[in-house]
Chain A
Amino acid sequence: MTRYTSATDADLEAMLGAIGVGAVDDLFAEIPADLRLGRALDLPAGLSETECFDHLASLAERNADADAELCFLGAGIYDHYVPAIVDAITQRSEFLTPYTPYQPEVSQGGLQVMFEFQTAISELTALPVSNASLYEGPSSVASAAYLAIGATGRTRLVVSRGLHPHSRETLRTYARGFSAEVVEVGLEGGLTDVAELRDALDSEAAAVFVENPNFLGAVEDLRALASAATEAGALTVASVDPLTLGVLRPPGDCGVEIAVGEGQQLGGRLDFGGPSFGFFCATENHLRRMPGRIAGETVDLDGRRGFVLALQTREQHIRRERATHNICTSQALNALGGIVYLAWLGKRGIVELGELLARRMAYARQRLAEIDGVELLHEAPAVREFAVRLDAPVPAVLDRVAEEGIAAGYWLGREYPEYDDGLLIALTERRSKADIDRLADALARAIAETAAVDGLLPDSGKKPSMAGEVGA
């Protein structure tokens, strides 16, 4: 037997006897012989716990993680501190190992967590209804398109180029199923071009999709964007960074009908991009079209306060092909981490964090702009992330600073040919002034050296080889 099973020979004999067959293999008799595998799976033999641990540890060692480097990478996933209580609470068996709360009488813990999570996210976004989580950011954006198409009967999706490239790509993937057309609106000075947006809006536009702060870190004027959408009878979907909502005007106060986003910032690990959670909030009139689980408050037979999965008739297990979404398993445990984090940060902390980030951002922008060969990519206001242009090939500069143990940022040329010289730099409360200074000094050296080497090459316009680079 394996270490996770327990049928002894005596058990086996008794159980087969009760079933009335002679061998376990007889239980597989209904699988036709020509479909039986008839051999062992071609996989390595099982490992003891120590061997397995050592093997996984040796793989982990070959990754340069955010403890091994000074990490200024962002692009939607951020290296915030994860409080110890988040790990302690999310690792409790009672939260870690139950299924979706189909039996509310024995799931009050999980259901109340959902209710508290919904309250916190609704409060942050200033929109009255929130679900209990979706998979993650970009697929939540695509899910908002499904709602918008259903709610408006229109099939044109107008998307700002400031929306995360992964969200735009995911939206395009899903849009093929919705038979929807995706139209992109460009950026001007780092911000969504409102005039171009107005031109793109017509009577077929179901929704406008924007991000705040946008992918370049710029704080958009959500009210202006939403008002353009509203005038055309389209909904506004804003993908927002929840950690900036202590300071930024929330989508619900800007005329936005649907706010979605990535929740990793709220107590989530980096985890190489997942699992995290997505959130989905809306105005009250869209409640019955919302995707995913929603917990609601009610009472039991004796009048005690309790919580249940509300409005289940929206969902796939009841409504099947007429469901508002196909989602079943979502990200409940990560959403628990999110509410614990928000309770830890608290009412004052979320404001203080936003202020700290914005002030360090101002310092970092100023400090980097002083470097020879660096200029700001845009002058728009920013909170936690900003973009610069380098007067040297970005991938080569990144390689140089990586040698000094710094992950300097995200190369915008991966997804924006127009910003081939662009670098996106993210801050969290873990990146101090001293860290910013270290980044600035390293970048200055790397640019000088790279530019010098570049200048010596006969074909100095040519980018260095990008073998092994994502998106090259």
Chain B
Amino acid sequence: MKPSVPLTPPTNAETPTPQQRERATTIFERSVAGRRAGTLPPLDVPERPLDELIPRELLRDRQPELPEVSEPEIVRHYNRLSRRNFDLDTGPYPLGSCTMKHNPRLNERVAALPGHARLHPAQDPRRAQGALELMWRLERALAEICGLEHVSLQPSAGSHGELAGLLLTRAYHEDQGERRTRVLTPDTAHGTNPASVTMAGYEVVKVATDERGGVDLEDLRAKLDERVACLMLTNPNTLGVFDERIAEITQLVRDAGGTLYYDGANLNAIMGHTRPGDMGFDIVHVNLHKSFSQPHGGGGPGAGPIAVSDRIEPFLPVPRLVRSEDADGAAPRFDFDHERPKSIGRLRGFAGNFGVFVRSYAYIRSLGGDGLAEASETAVLNANYLLARMKQGSAGRFLPVAFDRLCMHEFVLSGAPARRELGVKTLDVAKRLLDFGFHPPTIYFPLLVDEALMVEPTETETKEGLDALADAFEQILAEAERDSEIARSAPYTTPVRRLDEAKASRRPVVRQPL
């Protein structure tokens, strides 16, 4: 079985697919008065009039217009909707910076065990020891992977971890009697970095990128002063390249009194090979929904635990998980500690996205230390192999790599020649890929690469899958050399064709009138 050259999908929209002929219908439009799905247990207490229990003026006058639909109709509706999605279980999803690796079903099964899924967060910790031990073990594993001793699992996603890291930085400096106002981020940073900086009350100062794709040291030196609170960095960065001068960079910032924040979005490149803590970072967030296989769910849930250095530890969010061991050799006990006077406080309710912790812990235990290291090796191997393929033929000519060196787990191409010479933009190439059954790479990011395509195949794709993806690119470009209109009007086979996004923002319709 070798799907080398993909079959050519339709090159025009003349024959709509069955899905395209179906008008999108919402669950509200399927509503028919009098129908219902769920029923409730019967009333087993006296039936007192509601306004006897709650004053009339506090009660609702008009019922909310929720749908009235039977159970079979609900199931059909959402199953049909699901078929209007592309998903990782169906095909390759080489979305750069998103680490779309396989989501093992085992992890879903263990997360659904009643002892996990049916555990109330306010349960007395003495009767939730299994959950606390799982969290403890996950903390220890992340500490080892990151090379930083202290972990809080509380942040709900990467951006939440970033906000936590910046509030930790603020607390750390205030504790030193300092008031710093600026945070440095490279111009290649994920958008969440500068957004988090503003939310944490700091001013963003951009650091330039040098000709090899790393931090421009001269620019960094020029911008480092006593106003700088922190440098936020991703390494490998969003260009997929490892900044080999990272130790010098972190030392410079440390000497200037700043903290070092590591955006862990790209951790999948380096697990078991190098560690942010060893590079000199103080604070790392880990995206459990990237490197540690939590399914992305169409935009969450995720979790963004943070690992920190000794100097940051006193400020970690509460509650902290603590382990105590009796001298008599009894099993260790786990508990939550709320009494941390220097803590920045809570970031959310209860102890975090526990269901995500279960899945990621199962993943870490499935692979073990060697397996995680191998996952990173294969991710880097797959990316470099795909890059080697993309350097050949039309792809190499029209979509050249932005920084020609070894990449880590992802790489960035520039579609500038394709636009210039073929009149086909990166957007067009991406849309045409949809007709070939691939999810496109991340496009138009990072911003400093013209017509960027950011490709991250991950370790769970096969060589055949990578070959098929490279072949599809090749075919799209060959097609565009003959007739650029094909790509410009793509896609043709998807449930809908290109959508008018400007209209949706100019006159937004964000709910259905009922």
Contacts and interface: CB of A to CB of B under 8 A. Distances in A.
B509 interface: yes
Contacts of A296: 504-505, 508-510
B410 to A, nearest CB: 13
B78 A340 contact: yes
Choose among A219, A327, A398 the residue with the greatest number of B CB atoms under 10 Å from its CB.
A327
A30 B349 contact: no
Contacts, number: 750
Given A43-B364, A248-B60, A310-B508, 13 more contacts: A4-B460, A32-B247, A40-B272, A63-B115, A66-B118, A115-B26, A126-B64, A304-B496, A306-B496, A334-B297, A347-B66, A468-B124, A468-B125
B123 interface: yes
A330 interface: yes
Interface in B299-351: 299-303, 317, 319, 333, 335-336, 338, 344-351
Contacts of B110: 52-53, 56-57, 60
- Most chain A beta carbons < 10 A, residue from B144, B430, B499: B499
Contacts of B423: none
Contacts of B144: 41-43
A12 B366 contact: no
A9 to B, nearest CB: 12
Contacts of B415: none
9 contacts: A27-B384, A43-B141, A95-B87, A96-B103, A100-B300, A112-B81, A247-B59, A296-B504, A310-B510
B195 A326 contact: yes
Given A93-B87, A313-B505, A43 B368 contact: yes
Contacts of A343: 27, 37, 66-67, 69, 74, 77
A105 B491 contact: yes
Closest CB pairs A-B (n = 10): A60-B115, A333-B297, A273-B121, A273-B350, A46-B368, A62-B130, A41-B369, A275-B301, A332-B299, A93-B89
B351 A272 contact: yes
Contact of B85 (A110, A310, A331): A110
Contacts of B297: 95-98, 331-334, 336
A85 B296 contact: no
A30 B242 contact: yes
A67 B118 CA distance: 7
B197 interface: yes
A92 B105 CA distance: 11
B242 A333 contact: no
B43 A94 contact: no
Interface string A437-452: 0000000000000000
Contacts of B23: 304-305
Contacts of B150: none
A313 B68 CA distance: 35
A329 interface: yes
B63 A351 contact: yes
Nearest to B129: A62
A101 B297 CA distance: 10
B500 A300 contact: yes
Interface stretch (A168-176, A201-209, A227-235): A168-176
B299 A135 contact: no
A118 B463 contact: no
Interface string B80-112: 011111111110010100101111101011111
B48 interface: yes
Contacts of B103: 96-97
Interface string A355-366: 110111111000
B5 interface: no
B61 interface: yes
A104 to B, nearest CB: 5
Contacts of A393: none
A308 B504 contact: yes
A110 B86 CA distance: 10
A371 interface: no
Interface stretch (B162-170, B252-260, B478-486): B162-170
Contact of B350 (A2, A20, A95, A272): A272
Contacts of B88: 93, 97-99
B288 to A, nearest CB: 10
Given A66-B119, A170-B347, A349 B299 contact: no
Given A296-B510, A301-B497, A325-B199, A336 B298 contact: yes
Interface in A303-352: 304-313, 315-323, 325-334, 336, 339-340, 342-352
A219 B59 CA distance: 10
B188 to A, nearest CB: 12
B380 interface: yes
B381 A352 contact: no
A59 B201 CA distance: 41
Given A67-B118, A287-B510, A304-B497, A359 B353 contact: no
B73 to A, nearest CB: 9
Given A4-B460, A56-B362, A177-B200, A96 B295 contact: yes
B298 A52 contact: no
B18 interface: no
Nearest to A164: B349
Contacts of B102: 4
Contact of B26 (A24, A116, A306, A470): A116
Contacts of B439: 99, 103, 106
B93 A47 contact: no
A316 B192 contact: yes
A154 B299 CA distance: 32
A300 B496 contact: yes
A463 to B, nearest CB: 15
Given A41-B145, A97-B87, A320 B195 contact: yes
A295 B115 CA distance: 35
B373 A41 contact: yes
B420 interface: no
A401 B335 CA distance: 21
A88 interface: yes
Interface in A257-285: 262, 269-275, 277
B157 A318 contact: no
A275 B358 CA distance: 11
Interface string B24-66: 1011100100011111110111111010011101111101111
B511 interface: yes
B509 to A, nearest CB: 4
Given A31-B270, A272-B120, A298-B499, A133 B60 contact: no
Interface string A164-207: 10110110111011110000000000000000000000000000
B463 A333 contact: no
Nearest to A90: B297
Contacts of A305: 23-24, 496
A95 B82 contact: yes
A135 B499 contact: no
Interface string A203-231: 00000000000000001010100000000
Given A46-B367, A296-B509, A330-B300, A177 B201 contact: yes
B130 A132 contact: no
Given A43-B368, A77-B120, A15 B385 contact: yes
A1 interface: yes
B74 A344 contact: yes
A1 B329 CA distance: 39
A432 B41 contact: yes
A179 B43 CA distance: 50
A429 interface: yes
B375 interface: yes
Contact of B158 (A89, A122, A329, A347): A329
B43 to A, nearest CB: 6
B512 to A, nearest CB: 4
Interface string B191-212: 1101111111100100000000
Given A2-B374, A105-B431, A306 B24 contact: yes
Interface string B268-279: 001111110011
